[in-house]
Amino acid sequence: MARMAPETPQRRPRRSFDDDFKAQAIRLVLDEGKSVGAVARDLDLTESALRQWVERARADRSGGRTGLTTAEREELAKLRKENRELRMERDILKKAAAFFAKHQA
């Protein structure tokens, strides 16, 4: 008797939402006191996406006391990128220094 492989659920296609839509969803949770799960179901969102929006909005509203603000997240991303680039440049310079030291001797 042949076995059939269990079906894996299809992934939902990635969607993008404008800032106004996000703000309205956040308002429903933070200002009107609805649960993240209920709002996510009503708006056909994943709970994890909405929860992340709400956490970021809370951080922005509290001035960073409950997490990183939007400005802080942007600065962190910029600094991480700069750090990656500097490490790459340092590694290239180390290799070049070793190459020239080896060939001068």
* Structural domain contains residue 90: yes
| 57 and 93, same domain (yes or no) | no
Cα separation, 30 vs 47, in Å, equals 15
* Structural domain contains residue 6: no
Q: State which H helix or E strand residue 103 sits in.
A: helix 70-104
| 33 and 61, same domain (yes or no) | yes
* Structural domain contains residue 91: yes
Structural domain span for residue 60: 17-67
What pLDDT is stored for residue 76 in this prediction? 95
* Structural domain contains residue 2: no
| 54 and 84, same domain (yes or no) | no
Q: Is the pLDDT of residue 38 over 80?
A: yes
* Structural domain contains residue 4: no
What pLDDT is stored for residue 2 in this prediction? 61
Residue showing tokens 């800032």: 19
Pick 60 or 76 by higher pLDDT: 76
